Amino acid sequence: MEIGKRILITGGTTGIGREIAILLASKGAKVLITGRHQEQIDETLNAMDGAQGSGYGIAADLAEEAGIRKIFAYADQELGGLNCLVNNAALAYQSIMEGSYKDWQYIVNTNLLGYMACVHEAVKRMETAGEGHIINIGSMSADVRESNSSVYVATKSGIQGFSEALRKELNPKGIKVSLIEPGAVDTDMQEGSEEEKLQKIANQEMIPAREIAAAVLYCLDQPKHTDIVNIKIRPHLQLI
pLDDT tens-place string over residues 20-61: 999 999 999 999 999 999 999 999 999 998 777 799 999 999
**Band of pLDDT at residue 2, cut at 50, 70 and 90:** low
Q: What value does the mean pLDDT take over residues 205-209?
A: 92
Share of the chain above pLDDT 90, in %: 82
* pLDDT at res. 91: 95
Where do the domains of the chain lie, and which CATH numbers do they carry? Answer: 6-233 (3.40.50.720)
Over residues 161-172, the mean pLDDT reads 98
Sheet holding 230-233, edge to edge: 54-59, 30-35, 6-9, 84-87, 132-137, 175-182, 230-233
CB 180 within 8 A of CB 233: yes
- State the Cα–Cα distance between residues 98 and 185, nearest whole angstrom: 24
The structure's pTM equals 0.94
